[in-house]
Amino acid sequence: MSSDHIYLDNLLDHYRNPRNYGEIKNPDFVIEDANLSCGDEVKFFVKFDKNKNVIEDIKFVSRSCAVCKASASILTELVKGKPISFVNSLTKKDVLNFFGGRIDPSREKCALLPLRALQSKTKAIEEDSHKNQKDLF
Amino acid sequence: MFDPNDIRHDFPILNVKVNGKPLIYFDNAATSQKPKQVIEAIENFYFLKNANVGRSIHTLAEEATELYFQSRKKVADFINATPEEVVFSSGTTESLNAIANVVAEKFLNPKDIVVTSILEHHSNLLPWVKVCKEKSCALKVVNANKNWTINIEKLEALLKEGAKVVSLTHVSNVLGTINPIKEVSKLVHSYDAILVVDAAQSVPHMPVDVKDLDCDFMAFGAHKMLGPMGTGVLYLKKRYADLIEPWNLGGGMIKSVKLLNEVPELSCCKVTYEDTPIRFEAGTPNVEGAVGLSAAIDYLSKLGMNSVLFHERQLVKYLLENLKGNSFEVYGPKDENSITGIVSFNLKGIHAHDVAYLLDKLAGIAVRSGHHCAQPLVNILGTVATVRASFYIYNTIEEINAFIEALKEVEKMLK
Ligand SMILES: Cc1ncc(COP(=O)(O)O)c(C=O)c1O
């Protein structure tokens, strides 16, 4: 079998046994996003420590292809216990590195959906806190 | 009947290797491959006959014009129209947009009803959404019946309410189901309404006779029927061709343009348009496209459209038998005789994109996955995406065997 594809052991492992899969009761926030054009949907549940600005706990559910699900699974492992500044510092390149550094252009959207979803919230939080700091001075 | 193995020699691309495997091309509903005969016809046009058409009087221009005229005649004969009723366009999408715009301009008034169906490709839905909004008309989307063709009772109810225009696909690009256009046109005309048919998926795969179907407008493209991209046809029944104003204006489509006053600054123009169909083809046309389509029609006519359909149905029958296991969810009718060469399905619990991606990477098999530009229909099927295998004249039973083996491999990998 040719191994010139992205469904390598790491991806398949996260697809078959997604980490942090499921819901959190009483989350501090829930984030949902979808690539409607291909039918990928992902939903994150986040416990957030406002004082420390840290993601205390995170889980997800998805209705999606393997690339999107594995990407979300790897992402939750990466960001759990981390400050949101870390989440916001993650880039497309970091996600592609989950999959050995390259991904077919047609599948990039699938891989990037989870990070885009999560950052839509974490970036807003960071901006708000900057604004509040400015207000203090 | 023809042997697809003979035909394959005419398609150079079928020798290409994809990911180390011989290409298996099952994405014909998206676009077909092109035989040498079509590619050579285009090449010959540019090597030997290239000139602008319908303008200059030198020999080359005469020859190019004649070639363009012959191509139009070929298309007309193929669908049993007259050449005056055949307008060349850039494709199905452009044809449908033009039809929606001119039909709306000429025949629709505020509060009128336009009917389309759940089976439509977005290109036969979005133009109607636009013109209905502009004209304050109501667009009604009729559901399918249990055979996944249009629900005739619902259609008739809307005609009774006074619907003015019905625009319907002939063959579903997701399910391959065939709408009974002849029956629909009788019904639509008995209420004095207009029938538009999207024939993008029918003309390439089955005999289509516009006189027999008696539709008023029809759209299809060359690239799904062995011809080049960027070329399509807009059929308009003679009666309408004479009623409708040109929608594109420019060179090559007028009899005369005259200033009404000797002082140009004070003048207005009096314009007399050419007769149909020339009046609908402003600007330099896509002659290479028309020539390529003509060669494609020659190729298909030699095989015979009944044989083309028969061949596709044999492949569909064989595939459906092999998709019976409970790993698969197959959408639409399971009877090859009610569809063309299109099968939509899913491997249960696995996203269509995963299946399509791995079929390509592991086995060099090209299929489409997604909503196929028919999102409302795919949602009604109860999913967000399907895998679609679509066949044409050069596909074989051996290729389907390889496809089934590859599907098993994909399932093993992702279960
Ligand atoms: C039923 C149907 N209508 C319209 C179209 C649009 O054709 P094109 O993209 O060639 O304009 C397609 C092609 O995908 C189709 O399958």
Domains of chain B: 4-26+304-407 (3.90.1150.10), 39-300 (3.40.640.10)
Residue A32 β-bridge partners: A43
Q: How far is the CA of B200 from the centre of ligand 1 (A)?
A: 6
| Helical pair B152-160 and B181-190, crossing angle rounded to 10 deg | 20
Q: How far is the CA of B84 from the centre of ligand 1 (A)?
A: 24
CA B180 – CA B164 distance, rounded (Å)? 19
Whole-complex ipTM: 0.85
**Mutational pocket test of ligand 1: of B27, B88, B97, B121, the residue with most ligand atoms within 8 Å of the beta carbon:** B121
Given a contact cutoff of 8 angstroms between Cβ atoms, the answer to whether A20 and A4 are in contact is no
Minimum mean pLDDT range among A21-30, A97-106, B133-142, B338-347: A97-106
Cβ B390 under 6 angstroms from ligand 1: no
| Range A2-17 burial, b when 16+ CB lie within 10 A, else e | eeebbbeeebeebbee
Residue A70 in this model has a pLDDT that exceeds 90: yes
Interval B211-240: pLDDT, tens: 999 999 999 999 999 999 999 999 999 999
Distance from the Cα of A83 to chain B's closest Cα (Å) equals 33
Instruction: Kindly indicate the confidence band of residue A1, based on its pLDDT and cuts at 50, 70 and 90.
Output: very low
Question: What does the angle CA B374 – CA B375 – CA B380 come to, to the nearest 5 degrees?
Answer: 105
Asked if CATH classification 3.40.47.10 holds for the domain at A9-132, the reply, yes or no, is: no
Residue B105: both structure tokens together: 């301009």
* Residue B96 alpha carbon, nearest atom of ligand 1: 4
CA B116 – CA B377 distance, rounded (Å)? 12
Residue B33: both structure tokens together: 């491959």
Cα of A77 vs its chain's centroid, Å: 9
Distance from the Cα of B387 to chain A's closest Cα (Å) equals 12
What is the DSSP secondary-structure string of B198-232? E-TTTTTTS---HHHHT-SEEEEESTTTTS-TT-E
| B277 upstream amide cis, omega within 30 of 0 | yes
3-class DSSP assignment, residue B303: helix
Interface test with B, best of A3, A6, A7, A62 (most B CBs within 10 A): A7
pLDDT tens, N- to C-terminus, chain B (415 residues): 899 999 999 999 999 999 999 999 999 999 999 999 999 999 999 999 999 998 889 999 999 999 999 999 999 999 999 999 999 999 999 999 999 999 999 999 999 999 999 999 999 999 999 999 999 999 999 999 999 999 999 999 999 999 999 999 999 999 999 999 999 999 999 999 999 999 999 999 999 999 999 999 999 999 999 999 999 999 999 999 989 999 999 988 989 888 887 777 777 888 899 999 999 999 999 999 999 999 999 999 999 999 999 999 999 999 999 999 889 999 999 999 999 999 999 999 999 999 999 999 999 999 999 999 998 999 899 998 999 999 999 999 999 999 999 999 999 999 8
- Alpha-carbon torsion, ordered B299, B172, B26, B2, to 10 deg: -40
3-class DSSP assignment, residue B293: helix
